Amino acid sequence: MRYVDELRDPKLAHALSSRIRAATTRPWTIMEVCGGQTHTLARYGLEELLPEGITIVHGPGCPVCVTPAAVIDRAVAIACTAGVVLHTYGDMLRVPASHGDLLAARSRGADVRVVLSPLEAVEAARLDPSREHVFFSVGFETTAPAAAAAVELAEALGLERFSVLAAHVRVPPVLEVLLGDPRTRIDGLLAAGHVCTVMGTGEYAPIAARHRLPIVVTGFEPIDLLEGIARTIEQLEAGRSEVEIQYARAVRPEGSAGARGAIERVFEVADRPFRGLGEVPAGGLVLRDRFARFDATRRIAVEVASAEPDTRCRAGEVLRGLLRPLDCPELGKGCTPEHPLGAPMVSSEGACAAYHRHRARKELPR
């Protein structure tokens, strides 16, 4: 597909709005899991096209936001270690932790570099073997294949001073935690299309069956989301709880064999703490023992002393879908992109950043 105009077509958007209104006979609460979906909803004012009683809540679909402060603290400590170059994605620079962020560390002299791909960090390590090069790798299953490729390339090149600080998290286990929380009321889920492009939908069918709710895998454009909401409500009204793929132009039930294979060769599943959510069983990916020499936590010993988070930040409630960003009293006041209280305000996929940025949103043209 070369153009996205048809996925932002206002006539089609209003037709889908009518379809949703015709199907809806009672209130429903739907959670979208991905931060990219959150930003589309806020930017285009899609909730205003929904009938009264349809509530959209935002889940833990921002991997930067769920990375615990202790992990950021470790990244800062590693970056401040003599002879170390820390490479990471731009989203990670402003994420607050116990004792400042990576941007502050860089201002104090740490060599912190923004990269678009972990392969850039591998190339830097090849060209500069005199220093330790660490790639701080954050993301859901979507970014894990690239990190796996970087580790395998470093092994093939025989690099001795390259490592990865892996903070990868998995979507299905955290959904189980949310759906098992008695405080959370979720009737249906919009699953993240990019994660399912990599992993497929096999892990979602048992979740849908166990919790008796529909899961619709959607893309990230307005029409994707409106169609996903329509399909979810139609299932709910019919009493069905199935996995559907709205994002069929990218997602196959089996996912990507190559990407999944790379993840399985390099990583293994492990328990992982999520910021604001606590320990999630099988919620993360860690490097296999075979690749221990590329594991920054094993290679570089640092002392990490994490402090308690700012009590004004209610990111945990936002990530659980218990609090909508606009209902947080600190949004745009005590918490801004320039002075964030929590990660959802500084990540490009954060729900708080979405609502702060798009309050004066550009709606779909009429």
User: Is it the case that residue 226 has pLDDT exceeding 90?
Assistant: yes
| Residue 332 to residue 345: CA distance in whole angstroms | 9
Q: How confident is the model at residue 184 (pLDDT cuts 50, 70, 90)?
A: confident
More confident residue, 91 or 11: 11
Q: What is the pLDDT of residue 287?
A: 98
Q: What is the mean pLDDT of residues 90-104?
A: 87
Q: Is the pLDDT of residue 42 over 60?
A: yes
Closest CA to 9 of 265, 189, 285, 224: 224
Q: What is the mean pLDDT of residues 64-74?
A: 89
Handedness of CA 262, 264, 266, 269 (dihedral sign): positive
List of domains in the chain:
1-366 (3.40.50.11740)
Given pLDDT bands bounded at 50, 70 and 90, which one contains residue 365?
Answer: very low
Per the DSSP assignment, residues forming a β-bridge with 278 are: 274
Q: How far is residue 328's CA from residue 356's CA, in Å, rounded to a whole number?
A: 11
Helices (H) and strands (E) in the chain, counts: 15, 11
Lookup: tokens for 284:
């993360």
Sheet with 28-32, side-by-side order of all strands: 54-58, 28-32, 188-192, 215-218, 243-245
- Average of per-residue pLDDT values in the chain: 91
